[in-house]
Amino acid sequence: MKADKIYLVGFMAAGKTTLARALARRLGWQAVDIDELIEQREHMPVADIFAKQGEPYFRAVERAVLFEQLAPRHLVVATGGGTFVDPQNRAAINGDGASVWLDVPLERLIARVPADGRRPLAADRAGFERLYHQRRAAYGQAHVRLDASRAGVDALVEQLVDWLEG
């Protein structure tokens, strides 16, 4: 598939930001992280936005930030874990570029995400697991699924470059 924009989707701690930066370097493109852009706009961490404004407010800001990324080309976008779950966001992403699901097993994600409050939706482990299973159907609507559980970042970058050029 020829694409001039890649959206990385998947659950929190799947490695979207790390892979976005590495892939952008390899392609000579720019990398952006939706959560980082939200934090810059709101002048506070995502956890504080959730705590002070609530999830609906966060999701509205997330959509606005996502839609600002539609015009630029040659971009690798690391989405937030819930961005692609929203049908309007998913349609925009799938219509604008190539969506790539970084699929990581639940056990590995649990090991990566501390329950320290920095990730508001991870503080409750039972809720974290429920959310993981609920979101998989949405992630499955991405153009490509990458098994991101075994391969390192460099190998994943090469898989994506091969797919893009294929």
What pLDDT, in 10s, does the model give residues 9-45? 999 889 999 999 999 999 999 999 999 999 999 999 9
CA angle, 59 as apex, 99 and 41 as ends, to 5°? Answer: 95
Note the pLDDT of residue 43: 97
Average pLDDT of the residues in 114-138: 77
Q: What is the CA radius of gyration of the chain?
A: 15
33 DSSP β-pair partners: 78
Check pLDDT > 70 for residue 71: yes
Cα end-to-end span (Å), the chain:
6
Homologous superfamily of 5-165:
P-loop containing nucleotide triphosphate hydrolases (3.40.50.300)
Q: Where does the pLDDT of residue 154 fall: very low under 50, low under 70, confident under 90, or very high at 90 and above?
A: very high
Q: Where does the pLDDT of residue 149 fall: very low under 50, low under 70, confident under 90, or very high at 90 and above?
A: confident
Note the pLDDT of residue 128: 83
Note the pLDDT of residue 150: 79
Cα–Cα distance for residue pair 62/72, rounded to 1 Å? 17
For the CA atoms of 121, 123, 124, 129, what is the dihedral angle to 10 degrees? Answer: 60
Check pLDDT > 80 for residue 99: yes
Report the share of the chain in percent with pLDDT over 90: 75
Domain segments of the chain: what residues?
Answer: 5-165
Question: Do the beta carbons of residue 9 and residue 77 sit within 8 Å?
Answer: no
User: Taking the model in full, what pTM does it have?
Assistant: 0.93
Coil vs helix vs strand at 73: coil
Note the pLDDT of residue 97: 96
* Burial of 59 (C-beta count, 10 Å sphere; 0-12/13-18/19+): middle
Q: Backbone phi, then psi, for 113, in 5-degree steps?
A: -105, 110
